[in-house]
Amino acid sequence: MCVQPHYNLVERGIEADLVPLAREHGLALLPYFGLAKGFLTGKYRQGGPDVDSPRADRARAYLDGPRGERVLAVLDAVAAERGVAPAAVALAWLADRPGVTSAIASARDLAQMEDLLPVVGLELTEEESARLTRASA
């Protein structure tokens, strides 16, 4: 049995109540919007190019305030250190959360899918995970 919550690096509200409850009852978490409607791919930036996507306006909403930019900066740094796309790092962080058994991420084309593939076997260090967690707090 599993629960399918909205959960990712910038949507962490379930950590206070749903995560402990699911763990207490042995329910797995299978989060959707693991890439925050595409925001955690890094393609939505202040002053960046327009992105042709039905989710673009909702993804850009994460840029309101400094937290979104802070998350992207740390995500970019960890991705560069690992030689992978930011999307793979964001999903690796999510897959490592307590109770999460897998995460749902969409790819519209082969190039987007290729950015996601490195998540298989990508294990973040405790320090990398902590940096991302602090940035998104």
Q: How many domains does the chain have?
A: 1
Which distant-in-sequence residues (6+ apart) come within 8 Å of 40 by Cβ? 8, 9, 10, 34, 71, 75, 86, 87, 90
Any bridge partners for residue 32, and if so which? 6
Would you place residue 51 in the very low, low, confident or very high pLDDT band (cuts 50, 70, 90)? low
Structural domain boundaries, residue 102: 2-136
CA distances from 118 to 24, 77, 127 (A): 31, 16, 19
User: Which residues on neighbouring strands pair with residue 29, listed in sequence order?
Assistant: 3, 100
CATH code of the domain covering residue 95: 3.20.20.100
Mean pLDDT over 8-23 rounds to: 96
Q: Which two tokens stand for residue 84?
A: 């992978």
- Whether the pLDDT of residue 32 is over 60: the answer is yes
Mean pLDDT of the chain: 91
Interatomic CA distance for residues 83 and 93, integer angstroms: 16
